[in-house]
């Protein structure tokens, strides 16, 4: 009888210990504070008519606890699915596309577990919003991806012939990423691969200055995906933005140096160690330049500060 009770206690312990470890992974655990960033803000000379707009295409319903360690399950958050339009006299760029009009079909291609824990609301696609304003699509030079996951590329099929700008690592990931990049292969799109031919930028060792005037500068920030990037945008009025993609889902990931909980990062991040390194580095940049607006791809508060087209 004692042995039977012991076995039951051991079985209970083996059940409770993993649950306790899982619960602990949601508790706040700030990453180590970074060393002060010595770099000055890089110079930029954007043309006077460079402009930045948001194109909200929908939301998914989450909580802060899902986004970063220390977030509350009671803190409901609508995760933005938003494209950004950068208007430039040498050709406009979309940063990601958000949800396309066929997002319902795209969503069904995701794994069952993901679909079971995900609810979303679809808005007008980026293409529909541009067309509604009478936007001249010949102005669109390309779609610049922060990375190739489904919720960032769902709208690409509505821009036939428009180049999709990715680096070589992300281009390879599109081909080899299985279900994670299945939506990015629909069409297929016309991919244009760029290189990081520029020098260091805010402590990142390499960069790609799209127009050579500092208005749009891309730096590699792998981890979430192999070719994830951060897109820095500078406007003529002095305002600067950092579109960090899914390096952090909400800005607290950077400002509080909190990575995603274990379950989320295991499912979402290809290289969690690299994500941590880039989170800490972006935290140093944010501390050094508080005037820089952080725009995580799914933080509705950050996009809320941008005008709509």
Q: Which helix (H) or strand (E) holds 217?
A: strand 216-220
Q: Kindly report the CATH number assigned to the domain that includes residue 287.
A: 3.60.15.10
Q: Is residue 16 part of a domain?
A: no
Largest CA distance in the chain: 83
Q: Is residue 19 part of a domain?
A: no
Task: Name the pTM for this structure.
Answer: 0.93
Q: Which pLDDT score, from 0 to 100, does residue 19 have?
A: 64
Q: Which pLDDT score, from 0 to 100, does residue 309 have?
A: 87
Which of the residues in the chain have pLDDT under 50? 1, 9-10, 12-13, 16
Q: Which pLDDT score, from 0 to 100, does residue 195 have?
A: 98
Q: Is residue 12 part of a domain?
A: no
Q: Which residues of 203-222 are buried (b: 16+ CB within 10 A; e: fewer)?
A: ebeebbbbbebbbbbbbbbb
How many domains does the structure of the chain reveal? 1
| Phi–psi pair at 230, nearest 5 degrees | -115, 135
pLDDT tens, position by position, 133-157: 999 999 999 999 999 999 999 999 9
Query: Could you give the 3-state DSSP secondary structure of residue 126?
Result: helix
Q: Is residue 110 part of a domain?
A: yes
Supply the DSSP symbol for 249: S
Q: Which of 237, 247, 240, 253 lies closest to 290, judged by CA?
A: 240
Q: Which of 226, 230, 249 lies closest to 297, judged by CA?
A: 249
Q: Is residue 23 part of a domain?
A: no
The range of the structural domain enclosing residue 132 comes to 28-304
pLDDT exceeding 90 applies to what percent of the chain? Answer: 91
Q: Is residue 6 part of a domain?
A: no
Q: Which pLDDT score, from 0 to 100, does residue 175 have?
A: 97
Q: Is residue 190 part of a domain?
A: yes
3-state helix, strand, coil in the chain (%, to 5): 35, 25, 45
Q: Is residue 214 part of a domain?
A: yes
């Amino acid at each position: 009888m004692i042995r039977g009770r012991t076995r039951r206690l051991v079985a209970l312990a083996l059940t409770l210990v993993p649950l306790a470890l899982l619960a602990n992974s949601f508790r706040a655990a700030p990453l180590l504070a970074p060393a002060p960033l010595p770099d000055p803000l890089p110079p930029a000379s954007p043309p006077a008519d460079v402009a930045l707009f948001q194109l909200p295409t929908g939301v998914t319903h989450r909580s802060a606890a899902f986004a970063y360690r220390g977030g509350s399950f009671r803190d409901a958050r609508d995760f933005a699915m938003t494209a950004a339009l950068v208007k430039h006299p040498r050709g406009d760029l979309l940063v990601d596309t958000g949800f396309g009009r066929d997002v319902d079909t795209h969503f069904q291609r995701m794994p069952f577990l993901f679909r079971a824990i995900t609810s979303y609301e679809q808005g007008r696609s980026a293409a529909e919003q541009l067309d509604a304003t009478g936007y001249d699509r010949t102005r669109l030079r390309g779609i610049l991806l922060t990375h190739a996951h489904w919720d960032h590329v769902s709208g690409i099929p509505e821009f036939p012939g428009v180049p999709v700008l990715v680096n070589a690592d992300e281009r390879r990931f599109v081909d080899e990423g299985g279900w994670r990049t299945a939506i990015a292969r629909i069409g297929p799109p016309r991919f244009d691969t760029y290189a990081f031919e520029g020098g260091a930028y805010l402590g990142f060792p390499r960069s790609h200055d799209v127009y050579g005037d500092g208005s749009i500068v891309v730096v590699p920030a792998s981890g979430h995906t192999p070719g994830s990037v951060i897109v820095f945008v500078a406007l003529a009025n002095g305002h600067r933005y950092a579109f960090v993609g899914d390096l952090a889902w909400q800005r607290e990931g950077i400002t509080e140096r909190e990575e995603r909980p274990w379950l989320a990062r295991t499912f979402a991040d290809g290289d969690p160690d690299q994500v941590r390194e880039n989170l800490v580095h972006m935290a140093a940049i944010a501390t050094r330049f508080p005037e820089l607006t952080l725009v995580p791809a799914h933080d509705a508060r950050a996009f809320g500060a941008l005008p709509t087209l």
